[in-house]
Structure 1
Amino acid sequence: MRILIVSWEYPPVVVGGLGRHVHHLATELAAQGHDIVMLTRRPTGTDAVSHPTTDTRVDGVRIIATAEDPPEFEFGRDMMAWTLAMGHSFVRTGLRVLAGERNTPEQQPWVPDVVHAHDWLVAHPAIALAEFFDVPLVSTIHATEAGRHSGWVSGPTNRQVHSVEWWLATESDSLITCSASMRDEVTRLFGPDLPDVSVIHNGIDIRTWPFAPRPVRSGPPELLFAGRLEYEKGVQDLLAALPRIRRTHPGTTLTVAGTGTQQEWLVEQTRRHRVTKAVRFLGAVDHQGLVGLMHRCAAIVLPSRYEPFGIVALEAAATGAPLVVSTAGGLGEAVTDTTTGLTFDPGDVAGIATAVRAALGDSAAAATRAARARDRLTEEFSWSEVAERTAGVYLAAKRRVRHPVGRPSIPERPLPERDPGQSD
């Protein structure tokens, strides 16, 4: 099949886990014989002079990375304007390169069999290009704005993002989510007139996350958190549980790898809970550094309050790190309590302390659970399996009859009261 994938992230432009997901999916689809064109962008804050549009082929994937237009928009300050400008540049580049330019009179335009959009930021170009080529639009919804905000979207930007997510979902001919909980969330938020929703878990390349047996612990145990420092990741709950953990396991430390908008507030929480000297904030950590942290830690703790999937859990499992995770969203599907890890309810500080104590109290049992988790990866989460199932969705997708739609119904109840450090 000829597949046009549209994503605002693709290496070397990677903002989070979405970029890695799309890269693995595209390269595996290409390896399986599909003709893949990736429509993506050049780095933020550049322009057509410093970073012109490129058309290259890497790992079997044709990558068209479009230059940013010159008007001055900043993602953090002008998110919707920036997103619309990016979408406009994607449409122009896609039409010019794929449908317009011909090097020779005999050369035919490249026409996709399907367009695959990844998340709301590429809704406008993906919908426009699928309509232009008159082919099915498949969209993967990786997360939702309402899900990140306890089910409600009260701020102007929140409402705008939610409405674009709804538009992409309703305009699509088939939808993909990374977990059953995300499927239920998408159906609840954007239904009832949605296309078929397929659940295809994220994959992992275990070759890049090498296994290592747990070292014999000679000193106090070290816990690890890896991920974005945002309220929904629940790091504040882990910090609140740390004093209880240290009472039964003196000297326990926590290493926090990652960046985010809540870092300053989380540092304040360490002072509030009197664990400042027991917590290290490392900031961004490269791949090899993260592997080293996973090899060294007594357990990785992922206390998410909201988690569409939780790829870090798979990465940690591949390295042999014992898993202690919340049951939020996809984490609850990826980790089976007492079999491949230990779990607790989202936001349950006492539950975090109990689960971590159990992991630290029996290192042999923790290692056994970690080995089972790694064995499960090769059976259920390989990228070849993900690509084959995704290609099946492409083949089954048919372009639906379009009808005019009105504006979406947006939840208008104010957000529940939250901690002062939480951003909108």
Structure 2
Amino acid sequence: MKILMVSWEYPPVVVGGLGRHVHHLATELAVAGHEVVVLARRPSGTDSSTHPTHSFIAEGVLVVAVAEDPPCFDFGEDMLAWTLAMGHAMVRAGIALGKPGIGDGWIPDVVHAHDWLVAHPSIALAEYYDVPLVSTIHATEAGRHSGWVAGRVNKQVHSVEWWLANESDALITCSTSMRDEVERLYGPERIPMTVIRNGIDVGAWTFRPRAPRSGPPRLLYVGRLEYEKGVQDAIAALPRIRRAHPGTTLTIAGIGTQFEWLRERARVHRVARAVTFAGQLDHEGLLGWLHGADAILLPSRYEPFGIVALEAAAAGTPLITSTAGGLGEAVIDGVTGASFEPADVDGLVEAVRATLDDPAATQDRAYAARERLTADFAWDVVATETALVYSSAKRRVRNPLGRPKIVERPLPERDPNQPS
């Protein structure tokens, strides 16, 4: 098949797990013999004079990295305007693929959208080429905000997500919990929805058993520094963990909007000296931290899937995770890791204590996690399942859509420690 993927991140522009997901899926589909073109973008803050649209082939995939247009928009301050501008540039580049002498008349059999930020170009290009639109919903605005879309921008993003879901000919989610969430939030009637789990490149994450501990325990968190990731719960639990296992440290690797607030939480709980903020790590740096940690702690309050859990398990790092969303499906408590309910600080403390108290059982669970990965989360399996969705998707007759209904509710009672 000829597959046109549309994603706001793709190497070398990678923001988070979505960029890595699209990259692995695209290259694995190319290995399987499909023609894959990825519409992506140039780095934020650049322009066409310094960073013109650049087309290149990498690992069998044609990547079209689209230049930013001249109007000045900042993603942090003008998110919707920035997104619309990016989409406009992607539409022009996508149409050019079908023109002789530019894209040599290449016409896709299917358009695959990855998340709401590329809804506009994906919908437009699927209509232009009159081919099915398949969309992967990686997360939802309501889910990222504990089920609420109270703010103006939250409502705007939610409405775009609703539009993308209801304009698609087939939908993909990365977990059963995400499928249920999409059905509940967007109610896409009669649109086939398939659960395809994220994959893991096992070869990129060298497995290393835990050596006998010498010194205090080392816990590691990897991910974005956002409220829904629950890092604040790990910090709140650390004093009690240290009473049971003196000297325990927590290293927090990642960047995000809640960095300063989380540093303040460490001071409030009097563990500032035991908490290290390592920033964003490259692959080798992350692998080194994974090999050096006694366990990785992923306390998400909301998590569509949790690719970091797979990467950590592939590296041999014992897993301690919440049961939020996809984490609850990827990690089997007592078999491949230790789990606790989201936002349950007491449960988090007990899961960490149990992991540190019994290194032998913890190592057995790490072996089991690695073994499960190679069978259930291989990228060739993900690519095969995705190709089946493509081949079965049919462009349906479009009916005009009204506005989505956004339920107006008062704000829920807030966690007094949550940043405003």
TM-score range for the pair, normalised by the shorter chain length: over 0.9
Q: Which residues in structure 2 correspond to 1:21-60 (within 5 Å)?
A: 21-60=21-60
Q: Which residues in structure 2 correspond to 1:154-303 (within 5 Å)?
A: 154-303=150-299
In structure 1, the residue corresponding to 2:98 is in which secondary structure?
A: helix
The unaligned stretches of length 5 or more in structure 2 are none
Between stretches 59-68 and 165-174, larger displacement belongs to 59-68
1:398 aligns with 2:397: no
Q: Which residues in structure 2 correspond to 1:39-188 (within 5 Å)?
A: 39-96=39-96, 98-102=97-101, 109-188=105-184
In structure 2, the residue corresponding to 1:121 is in which secondary structure?
A: helix
In structure 1, the residue corresponding to 2:86 is in which secondary structure?
A: helix
Which of 323, 331, 336 is the equivalent residue of 1:335?
331
1:6 is displaced (CA, Å) by 0.4
In structure 2, the residue corresponding to 1:195 is in which secondary structure?
A: coil
CA contact (8 A) 2:201 2:378 kept: yes
CA contact (8 A) 1:262 1:422 kept: no
CA distance in 2, matches of 1:116, 1:194: 19
CA distance in 1, matches of 2:289, 2:194: 35
In structure 2, the residue corresponding to 1:100 is in which secondary structure?
A: coil
Letter of the aligned partner of 2:263 in structure 1?
V
The unaligned stretches of length 5 or more in structure 1 are none
Which of 368, 377, 393 is the equivalent residue of 1:372?
368
CA contact (8 A) 1:170 1:194 kept: no
1:293 is displaced (CA, Å) by 0.8
Letter of the aligned partner of 1:99 in structure 2?
G
CA distance in 2, matches of 1:12, 1:194: 37
Residue in 2 aligned with 1:19?
19
Letter of the aligned partner of 2:18 in structure 1?
L
1:181 is displaced (CA, Å) by 0.2
Between stretches 273-282 and 175-184, larger displacement belongs to 273-282
CA contact (8 A) 1:145 1:158 kept: yes
In structure 2, the residue corresponding to 1:402 is in which secondary structure?
A: coil
CA distance in 2, matches of 1:422, 1:310: 22
CA distance in 2, matches of 1:263, 1:194: 42
In structure 2, the residue corresponding to 1:219 is in which secondary structure?
A: coil
Distance 1:101 1:43, change over 3 A: farther
CA distance in 1, matches of 2:75, 2:408: 25
CA distance in 1, matches of 2:148, 2:392: 33
Which of 409, 412, 417 is the equivalent residue of 1:416?
412
CA contact (8 A) 1:154 1:411 kept: no
How large is the Cα RMSD of the aligned pairs?
A: 1.2
Distance 1:423 1:398, change over 3 A: farther
Between stretches 159-168 and 49-58, larger displacement belongs to 49-58
CA distance in 2, matches of 1:369, 1:253: 22
CA distance in 2, matches of 1:298, 1:389: 35
CA distance in 1, matches of 2:303, 2:271: 26
Q: Return structure 1 stretches of 4+ with deviation > 4 angstroms.
A: 419-424
1:274-306 deviation line (CA, Å, top 9, x unaligned):
111111111111111111111111111100000
Distance 1:80 1:58, change over 3 A: same
CA contact (8 A) 1:152 1:414 kept: no
Distance 1:249 1:398, change over 3 A: same
1:63-92 deviation line (CA, Å, top 9, x unaligned):
111110000000000000000000000001
Q: TM-score, normalised by structure 1?
A: 0.97
Distance 1:32 1:192, change over 3 A: closer
In structure 2, the residue corresponding to 1:65 is in which secondary structure?
A: strand
Letter of the aligned partner of 1:161 in structure 2?
V
CA distance in 2, matches of 1:58, 1:276: 43
Letter of the aligned partner of 1:102 in structure 2?
G
1:55 is displaced (CA, Å) by 1.5
Distance 1:198 1:220, change over 3 A: same
Percentage of identical aligned residues: 68
In structure 2, the residue corresponding to 1:203 is in which secondary structure?
A: coil
Letter of the aligned partner of 1:417 in structure 2?
E
1:20 is displaced (CA, Å) by 0.4
Distance 1:194 1:412, change over 3 A: farther
1:14-65 deviation line (CA, Å, top 9, x unaligned):
1111000000000000000000011111111111110111121111001111
CA contact (8 A) 2:146 2:228 kept: no
CA distance in 1, matches of 2:2, 2:152: 38
1:419 is displaced (CA, Å) by 4.2
In structure 2, the residue corresponding to 1:4 is in which secondary structure?
A: strand
Which of 359, 363, 367 is the equivalent residue of 1:363?
359
Q: TM-score, normalised by structure 2?
A: 0.98
Letter of the aligned partner of 1:331 in structure 2?
L
CA distance in 2, matches of 1:154, 1:325: 28
CA distance in 1, matches of 2:417, 2:244: 29
1:420 is displaced (CA, Å) by 6.2
